[in-house]
Amino acid sequence: MIELRNQTSEEIVKELSSTVKKLSDIHTDDRSLMSLCPEGLPSLQNVKEIMSLLWKLMFPELFFERTAIVSRIEYRIGITTERLFELLQEEIVIGLSCRPKRKEKVVIDNYPEAHDLSMKIISFLPELKRLLYTDINAILRKDPAAGNEVEIILCYPSVKAMLHHRFAHLIFSMNIPYLPRIISELAHSHTGIDIHPGATIGEYFAIDHGTGVVIGETCIIGNNVTLYQGVTLGAKSFRYDGNGTPLNIPRHPIIEDNVTIYSNATILGRITIGHDTVIGGNVWVTESLPAYSRVIQGGIRNDIFSYGAGI
């Protein structure tokens, strides 16, 4: 409990001024947070608009006006793509400025590189759309509750999660700080699906339900893999350098083709789950499995216990 006491106005001003002074004591040297982002922070509003534009470009039949679909679809896609390019370039410039610099103080013009990277991203959009449709088709094949592609696009959180992930993974591969993680966390907050942008995921990837799925940075997932809610593909332990800093080395599972992992299974460490394996719900796996494995919980015990015995 905070003890309340009567204070004069002078005492209140003095106490508040002391607090403000302490909060204002920020670093201005290389330890400063400002030194990590000299051009400012990425704009969350711009990133949200980027993903909104991308959503329209992936599914113009659904998210452009019907009149535009009939007569002016190419024009509408054109101006949307142009706006996306402008926002990407703006945010990538900020991201590039956050990369570690050389010790000597030099001014670096990041605009030419940001322009080239933005063009590469735009050029990748048709492939992004193709990959996303493989994920939609995987859900359609594996979930009898899925009526059609439109229902999946509108109602299944995994579609939004995978659009964000595949886009963020491309940007992550370009070594642009912050932006990929912001994109991933937008999807995480909307869907409950947490995929690090560094994770590599193949075609025809399906997440059923999705809430609580976690996929770590160095995870590699093959083609035609299905995950259910609550699955964790995580790290078992970390290695540290001489300064006690965790090493960013491969530490998450490799999931080969045609693997199904049921709800709340936990797969930890740099292990390999062989192709065509099925892992049952609530299973804990920390060792590699050969192809065609079947992993389930132990059988149910039908014993009689009293006074907490056997727990």
Q: How far apart are CA 163 and CA 21, in angstroms?
A: 45
Summarize pLDDT for 49-88 with one digit per residue, the tens: 999 999 999 999 888 877 656 668 888 899 999 999 999 9
Cβ atoms of 91 and 85 closer than 8 Å: no
Of 69 and 206, more confident: 206
DSSP reduced 3-state for 163: helix
Task: Give 200's pLDDT tier (boundaries 50, 70, 90).
Answer: very high
Region 216-243 average pLDDT: 92
Of 104 and 257, more confident: 257
The phi and psi torsions of 236 (rounded to 5 degrees) equal -85, -40
The H-or-E segment that residue 195 falls in is strand 194-195
Chain position carrying tokens 């940075």: 217
pLDDT value, residue 55: 96
Helices (H), 143-252: 149-155, 157-172, 179-191
Summarize pLDDT for 142-171 with one digit per residue, the tens: 999 999 999 999 999 999 999 999 999 999
pLDDT value, residue 300: 61
* Rounded (10°) angle between helices 44-58 and 73-97: 150
Task: Give 110's pLDDT tier (boundaries 50, 70, 90).
Answer: confident
CB hemisphere CA count around 39 (13 angstroms): 20
pLDDT value, residue 304: 64
**DSSP character string of 14-46:** HHHHHHHHHHT----STTSHHHH-TT-PPPHHH
β partners of residue 220: 200, 254
Q: Residue 216: exposed, middle, or buried by beta-carbon count in 10 A (0-12, 13-18, 19+)?
A: buried
Per-residue exposure over 248-265, b if at least 16 CB sit within 10 Å of its own CB, e if not: eeebbbbbbbbbbbbbbb
151, two tokens: 């229902």
Helices (H), 24-156: 33-36, 44-58, 60-63, 66-71, 73-97, 111-142, 149-155
pLDDT value, residue 238: 77
List all residues 6 or more positions away from 188 whose beta carbon is below 8 Å from its beta carbon: 194, 195
Region 262-284 average pLDDT: 96
The number of residues in the chain equals: 311
- Separation of first and last alpha carbons in the chain: 40
Task: Tell which residue, 66, 188, 61, 77, has the closest CA to residue 125.
Answer: 77
Task: Tell which residue, 104, 105, 123, 108, has the closest CA to residue 39.
Answer: 108
